[in-house]
A and B are shown apart, each in its own frame.
Chain A
Amino acid sequence: MDILIAIFPQVLVDGIALGFMYALIALGYTMVYGVLTFINFAHSEIFVAGAFVGVEVLLTLQAWGLLQDLHPVLLLLLVLLAGMTMSGVLALAVERVAYRPLRAAPRLVPLISAIGVSFFLQDVIRFGESLWRNAFYLTYPSIPFFDQRIQLTAFVDVPLKSLVVIVAAILMLVGLNLLVHRTKIGTAIRAVAEDQATASLMGIDVDRMIALTFLIGGAMGGAAGVLFGIQYSLITPYTGFIPGIKAFTAAVLGGIGNIPGAMVGGVVLGLLEAFAASYLSLLTGGAFGAEYKDIFAFSILILILVFRPQGLLGEVVRERA
């Protein structure tokens, strides 16, 4: 029993960090779904693109010998900015090329196109990185400052980077919430999500607002990618698939199209998963290993979609005839 209690704080912090990462990715899914009622399947690769830009920036800085000299906070801001820019622009480009021509098509058509984009981007990243670095499994260089452990109580210490991930994610989520609910642009985006035709009659440029939604969602995904890299180090072009599905689960859990819902869903899912991963094998005497955490997440997805498709915080969306 002691070990169960001893690892509790560590698991809790891991779970919250993971949850906020899911929340950041989930925003991309939920915002796009809110505006277009469409699952942007390629969002997981937009997330991975951010992670790869992050590692490239860090490796370049390391090659220049600047990694130790730069102030850690400045370093973090720099990497986040790079990742967010890349992912945001990529999301814009994907929308323009692969989704916009299909806006009037039946619903499954853009979804299939998005799956295609997702596969295409995975191999593009792989190709680019193997040309550039001759490897496509990359690890984030360790930054000594972030590797410190913080003593919470006499027995419990947690890695600083988990806390950094949590703080950075919270700041961005708060910023996004302000943007969407307190600014004119945010109002316009919400208007488009509510009713495109009416929004356009009110003088809102619908195409631009949709593009902006992709930009913001993509940038959040890119930030999540960088934070993912800092937290877990190893990234591959195929890393995005599982976090992508889980973030989508988080979005559905919180009620898709609902921004605070995505945050709640992300944290709930992250916690569930962290506890499942650590406690499942301990409690069942090793019969069910940590591998089952994925099944756990998928089962939640299936159960939520079947029994409460509007999610925890969502409202019932009418079927469009």
Chain B
Amino acid sequence: MDGYRTWFLRPSTQAAVVTVALLLSSFLVYAFPRSLPAFLLFQASLLILYHARIARALKIGFAAGALGLLLPILGSINGYYLEVGIQVGIFVVLALGLNIVVGLAGLLDLGYVAFFAVGAYLWAIFGSRQANQFVPASLIQFPLAPEWFFVFLLLGVIVAGVTGILLGLPVLRLRGDYLAIVTLGFGEVVRVLVNNLDKPINFTNGPIGITPIQRPPLFFLPVLEGLGIRASPAVLYALYFYFLVLLIVIVVTLVSQRLHHSHIGRAWEAIREDEMAAAAMGVPLVRMKLLAFAAGASFAGTMGVLFSAKQLYINPESFTFMESIGVLAMVILGGMGSIPGVVLGATVVTVLNLQVLKELSIWLNTLRHTEAAIYIPLIGSFNISQLPPQFEPAKYERMVFGIILVLMMIFRPQGMIPPRRLRRTRGG
């Protein structure tokens, strides 16, 4: 038995397991492009990769191959997988941003989606004709050229970060739960403002929203044509956004990690564990809290810019309280303060919402049409076609978020992958 264990833990075995898992699941997705279990297996093999005991460089190589090559190929077979990949990426970045505020600094921010909205509306207004509502067309003709998208990606970081500081300045002296309520209020204020700023001057076009929004430039098109590669615009843009999101995810993960392990990250954790003690040890509370707010907000801001470009259309409905709680659920599920945990949490919740619940609804519907009878103990025989049409799991997102939050708080407050420092000190 022991010999088997050492054999299994040997790096070469582990590498082989990862290779087999990735290739097998990719083949399954390739063979059954509409099968959700196949795609879930592909995602599970990424999790296996994370836990595998192999050299770091090899692991990164595997990850690059899986995310940079395998997933785009699978996505060109079933375009929906690219969309899932993009959405997961967007939420990973949001969750990593919220993780800095909630997980590291211990400040519960319930209005986080407001910063996402700031970024999204920033590009939506200037990347569409909307800006001509308040800037005379004789001065500048909107929309701005697609090339400006990249400028706005940076601008989103700055504007959202500054918004974070502006919100943070007055409220950061508040106690934890008051801070939560104030940020919630701030989130709602931003949403109501966006909803109503179509008069007296039309800034946001109110509840109707803004469309069409400029997409980023296809600067690489000449290269592709030179290579003789042709793709339909739909596939091209999906792949383009996928790689853009992947790039941002990598940058944000690295920034998160560097911050986490710097003196700033340690100061945040000190504040989270005991504010008074941290202050006594010379941690500048206000400056560190503002920094946490600004860093978290800037992640959301840059993703907002990308989100509006990808969606082509945004309205205030995308930025409700529920979105803030959804991101919070991702952070809590994965593990507050743990970067791999948060990435996992964001992936699980997004896939659950986008795919699993939807599939479940469809499956229940087809089941209903079979009119099969099942036998339930104590209740007796039950015809499935009588199953009420209200059993539609896809409509009960809130229930899913709620269950995640309550169960995690009661049974596993440290999350699925607890932060390493916590694991060390508490032996968990």
Of residues 82 through 115 on chain B, the ones whose CB sits less than 8 Å from some CB of chain A are 106, 108, 110
A116-B177 in contact (CB<8A): no
The one of B173, B193, B388, B409 in contact with A109, judged by C-beta atoms closer than 8 angstroms, is B409
Interface residues on chain B, number (Cβ under 8 Å): 46
B171-A306 in contact (CB<8A): yes
Q: When each residue 362-403 of chain B gets 1 if its CB lies under 8 Å from chain A and 0 otherwise, what string results? A: 000000000000000000000000001010000010110111
Kindly report which residue of chain B lies nearest to residue A111, judged by CB atoms: B177
Given contacts A116-B404, A119-B398, contact A298 B177 (CB under 8 A): no
Question: B406 interface residue, CB < 8 Å from A?
Answer: yes
Given contacts A108-B106, A294-B188, contact A116 B405 (CB under 8 A): yes
User: When chains A and B are docked, how far (Å) is the Cα of A277 from the Cα of B388?
Assistant: 41
B188-A120 in contact (CB<8A): no
Q: When each residue 181-213 of chain B gets 1 if its CB lies under 8 Å from chain A and 0 otherwise, what string results? A: 110111011001101100110000000000000
Kindly report which residue of chain B lies nearest to residue A285, judged by CB atoms: B200
A309-B174 in contact (CB<8A): yes
Given contacts A116-B404, A120-B399, contact A295 B108 (CB under 8 A): no
Stretch touching chain B among A48-56, A67-75, A98-106: A98-106
User: When chains A and B are docked, how far (Å) is the Cα of A289 from the Cα of B195?
Assistant: 11
Stretch touching chain B among A79-87, A121-129, A185-193, A198-206: A121-129
Given contacts A105-B413, A110-B409, contact A118 B189 (CB under 8 A): no
Question: B270 interface residue, CB < 8 Å from A?
Answer: no
The interface residues of chain A lying within 8 Å CB-to-CB of B390 are 127, 130-131, 134
A108-B388 in contact (CB<8A): no
B406-A120 in contact (CB<8A): yes
Question: B325 interface residue, CB < 8 Å from A?
Answer: yes
A302-B171 in contact (CB<8A): yes
The interface residues of chain B lying within 8 Å CB-to-CB of A245 are 181, 184-185, 188
Report which residue of B106, B189, B328 has the largest number of chain A beta carbons within 10 angstroms of its beta carbon.
B189
A123-B396 in contact (CB<8A): yes
Q: When each residue 159-181 of chain B gets 1 if its CB lies under 8 Å from chain A and 0 otherwise, what string results? A: 00000000000110111111011
B385 to chain A, nearest CB (A): 16
A305-B200 in contact (CB<8A): no
The interface residues of chain B lying within 8 Å CB-to-CB of A321 are 276
Question: B332 interface residue, CB < 8 Å from A?
Answer: yes
The one of A109, A120, A288 in contact with B402, judged by C-beta atoms closer than 8 angstroms, is A120
B106-A115 in contact (CB<8A): no
The interface residues of chain B lying within 8 Å CB-to-CB of A111 are 108, 176-177, 180
Interface residues of A (CB under 8 A from B): 37-39, 98, 101-102, 105, 107-113, 115-124, 126-127, 130-131, 134, 241, 245, 248, 252, 286-289, 291-292, 294-295, 298-299, 301-302, 305-306, 309, 319, 321
Identify 10 new A-B residue pairs, CB closer than 8 A, beyond the known A123-B396, A301-B182: A39-B181, A102-B409, A112-B405, A119-B401, A126-B396, A291-B195, A294-B188, A305-B174, A306-B174, A309-B178
